[in-house]
Structure 1
Amino acid sequence: MTSSQLNELATSTVANATEVPLWKQDGAEPFLKIENVSKMFGEFTAVDNISLDIYKNELFCLLGGSGSGKSTLLRILAGFESATSGRILIDGVDMAGIQPWKRPVNMMFQSYALFPHLSVADNVAFGLRREGVARSEVKQRVAQMLDMVQLSALGKRKPNQLSGGQRQRVALARSLIKRPKLLLLDEPLGALDKKLREETQFELINIQEELGVTFVVVTHDQEEAMTLATRIGVMSNGVIVQTAEPHVVYEYPNSRFVAEFVGSVNLFEGKVVEDLPDSVRIRSKEAGVELFVNHGISCAPNQTVHMAIRPEKIKISRNRPEQTENCIQGIIEDIAYMGSLSVFKVRLANGKDVRVTQPNFVRDMGARFTWHEQVYLSWDMDSSVVLTS
């Protein structure tokens, strides 16, 4: 799929049925503008010439593995690190030389960094009191913020008397009470268990929408980024390799790295044998058949490419399906029952493994597939994407 087609796809989907997001509006001014920012530590480049526009009220996620540069970029935004080159503008103001405590920014750390000797209410009030805000106003704003994060009844407790999720909400309240224009969150849910993390994700979204504060969240968790973000910036080796809405990053990755990093994917290497404006045919030794994709690409004749297909988009059957395109045969080598779904590892005749997932619609597993069973795998022509890099 060409870049113009991807842009058209992104423009056709809106976050709100009645309102086009700012990043899709011509002429919209970014709230946070990152211009050619780099950060060097000696000879090591942690952030490499990044330019990025983030708009007002966005919940933007920087997604990447360890060492990708996402936390360094966040610290540059907060003012804890100085960029080697480039500049940061927040609401049109250049942040060069502005100390962290003078920026319209607050940061919520992964460890939460709560004061153990202070109560919940005093932790939340700390920043306001340091600024000399009147006692009556402090009391009022603390009460409002604790009510928003559903901790009104726990204001007198100390942090060690709270659960992980409650401590997370105290840290969030403390970060928001000074009404920053921009809130930076470094792995905000990393200390929570899976179930609590999933519940807290939606709480975070609701709070962000209610306050209208622009959030920039750093995370290594793909599911967390997909749940939280209006847009995702995928980072690798100090560079943002793709910026798009979550569904575009997942369904239309722009490279093998993004396809493999975000979710699970099957990749088939092959050579392009037919490249038409609306379709591509690939001869793949790995698949053992020719693969057909119903979107065009820009590539050289006979170029080596990879076709990417997500496991949940592959149909598995005992009998050969009627379709002739994108149909391969294999043997089930492994099965993992995950509760809501089952994962199958199917080995093709040439030894390549293909991952397939199926939802468990019914309780009765008697008719389900089993180990060493011969099966057919097939997928629709519009379910896969061709990657040229």
Structure 2
Amino acid sequence: MTDTTTAQDASLALPSWRQKDAKPLVQIEEITKQFGDFRAVDAVSLDIYENELFCLLGGSGSGKSTLLRMLAGFETPTSGRILIDGVDMSHIPPWERPVNMMFQSYALFPHLTVEDNVAFGLRREGVKGAELKRRVSGILDMVQLGHLARRKPNQLSGGQRQRVALARAVVKQPKLLLLDEPLGALDKKLREETQFELMRLQEELGITFMVVTHDQEEAMTLATRIGVMNQGIIVQTAEPHDVYEYPNSRFVAQFIGNVNLFDGVVMEDEIDRVTIQCDAIEGLVEIGHGISCAPNQEVAVAIRPEKIRLSREAPEQTTNLAKGMVLDIAYMGSQSIFRIRLNSGQEVRVTQPNMSRDTSNRIMWDEQVYLAWDAYSCVVLTS
């Protein structure tokens, strides 16, 4: 095997969004949507690739649902364009787009059975007889609802209704399926179970999914990539690991999960490390990479709660070290959450896994503790 062949094989093994020459299925180019003086979506550009499960994540009013509705054709862009499989969708009505949408409310027909709800769109396209029966029964078996085909929606649980809506959305085999807060109506445990079902179904069908959600954990669980939206702009697009571990701004760091931020001033910036003076910890933070910043630049150090170690005795390190007192402890079963006030007055959140049932030596309220972390456990934010 030649080196060229090996390189090509390695490239094909990469996800499509990492392949240099991969062609996106969806191309959003400088899309803007304005309602009067309010700009709901502001010059957004985004590529989504075939077979992706892409999550658009943002708070209320961030513009994510407006962007979804423009993809579906329910809203017309003020400027910019949307291409699906290379075709400009600007003047194509919703019913002629290779797109389907699953609404948060599910919008099932209460007077129709499960199988008739799923078959509704196919019948309107003229699918009949054995072909109709094959496709409907096949998708119902895939979502594990074949035994409930004759029931009405009011005879189903919330999770079952969600799966009926999903089956109806995918049975027409669209190139792109849009899901607006698809798990929002489910309770926590059922939502967690359904997330894995949604991932399994997407993988089996090979349809590109775009999910809009405000739930960070849901996005982290489901997504191949996440686009974080704020005030009509996509502020970061990356795989879940990178969004969490390498946020590109204070907003992303605080929006995704929990984080501690220490403001500071850069004292030394080298290729392999950066040293930052942080008043909050009354000392220095050392990070195992450089950041290419201006001398004495003001920055923020972001560190996740689970990356901080707690101890009663002072660790043998002089940087990445702070001291404080335990204010609160929340026992969550698999982990405990500590709220600690540093000597500087700043409060810090620390999480620790509960690895043992033995609690005789656990850190308690009002104890003085040391907080320490590694040089590669934190990230420098310049914006």
Deviation at 1:288, TM superposition (A): 1.1
Matching of residues 298-317 of structure 1 within 5 Å: 298-317=292-311
**Is structure 2 residue 332 aligned with structure 1 residue 338?**
yes
| Aligned residue number for residue 88 of structure 2 | 94
Deviation at 1:138, TM superposition (A): 1.1
- Contact 2:31/2:41 (<8 A) preserved: yes
1:227 pairs with one of 195, 209, 221: 221
**Is structure 2 residue 122 aligned with structure 1 residue 131?**
no
Deviation at 1:366, TM superposition (A): 2.2
Deviation at 1:298, TM superposition (A): 2.4
| Aligned residue number for residue 312 of structure 2 | 318
| Aligned residue number for residue 162 of structure 2 | 168
| Aligned residue number for residue 73 of structure 1 | 67
- Contact 2:281/2:321 (<8 A) preserved: no
| Aligned residue number for residue 45 of structure 2 | 51
State the secondary structure of the residue aligned to 2:13: coil
Whole-angstrom CA distance in 2 between matches of 1:229 and 1:365? 37
What amino acid does structure 1 have at the position aligned with 2:368?
Q
| Aligned residue number for residue 387 of structure 1 | 381
Deviation at 1:365, TM superposition (A): 1.9
Residues 345-379 of structure 1: CA distance to partner in whole angstroms, max 9, x if unpaired? 11011210010000011122222111000100000
Residues 134-179 of structure 1: CA distance to partner in whole angstroms, max 9, x if unpaired? 2221111110010000001000111111111111100000000111
Deviation at 1:17, TM superposition (A): 11
| Aligned residue number for residue 113 of structure 2 | 119
What amino acid does structure 1 have at the position aligned with 2:16?
L
- Contact 2:337/2:349 (<8 A) preserved: yes
| Aligned residue number for residue 270 of structure 1 | 264
**Is structure 2 residue 347 aligned with structure 1 residue 353?**
yes
Which is worse superposed, 127-136 or 226-235?
127-136
TM-align CA RMSD: 1.1
Which runs of no fewer than 5 residues in structure 2 stay unpaired? 1-9
| Aligned residue number for residue 4 of structure 2 | none
| Aligned residue number for residue 139 of structure 2 | 145
Which is worse superposed, 328-337 or 290-299?
290-299
State the secondary structure of the residue aligned to 2:119: helix
| Aligned residue number for residue 192 of structure 1 | 186
| Aligned residue number for residue 371 of structure 1 | 365
Change (3 A) 1:18 1:54: closer
| Aligned residue number for residue 20 of structure 1 | 14
State the secondary structure of the residue aligned to 2:162: helix
**Is structure 2 residue 198 aligned with structure 1 residue 204?**
yes
Whole-angstrom CA distance in 2 between matches of 1:17 and 1:253? 26
Whole-angstrom CA distance in 2 between matches of 1:104 and 1:363? 54
State the secondary structure of the residue aligned to 1:98: coil
Whole-angstrom CA distance in 1 between matches of 2:118 and 2:249? 43
Whole-angstrom CA distance in 2 between matches of 1:18 and 1:317? 47
How many pairs are equivalent? 374
Which runs of no fewer than 5 residues in structure 1 stay unpaired? 1-15
Deviation at 1:83, TM superposition (A): 0.4
Matching of residues 2-13 of structure 1 within 5 Å: none
| Aligned residue number for residue 289 of structure 2 | 295
Whole-angstrom CA distance in 2 between matches of 1:356 and 1:83? 44
| Aligned residue number for residue 83 of structure 1 | 77
**Is structure 2 residue 100 aligned with structure 1 residue 106?**
yes
Whole-angstrom CA distance in 2 between matches of 1:366 and 1:384? 31
What amino acid does structure 1 have at the position aligned with 2:174?
P
What amino acid does structure 2 have at the position aligned with 1:379?
W
What amino acid does structure 2 have at the position aligned with 1:319?
E
Residues 325-357 of structure 1: CA distance to partner in whole angstroms, max 9, x if unpaired? 211110000000111100001101121001000
Deviation at 1:324, TM superposition (A): 2.0
Which is worse superposed, 294-303 or 121-130?
294-303
Whole-angstrom CA distance in 2 between matches of 1:331 and 1:61? 39
Whole-angstrom CA distance in 2 between matches of 1:291 and 1:184? 44
What amino acid does structure 2 have at the position aligned with 1:130?
R
Whole-angstrom CA distance in 1 between matches of 2:165 and 2:313? 56
| Aligned residue number for residue 24 of structure 2 | 30
Deviation at 1:310, TM superposition (A): 0.2
What amino acid does structure 1 have at the position aligned with 2:28?
I
Whole-angstrom CA distance in 2 between matches of 1:276 and 1:353? 30
Give me the TM-score of the superposition, normalised by structure 2: 0.96
What amino acid does structure 2 have at the position aligned with 1:288?
E
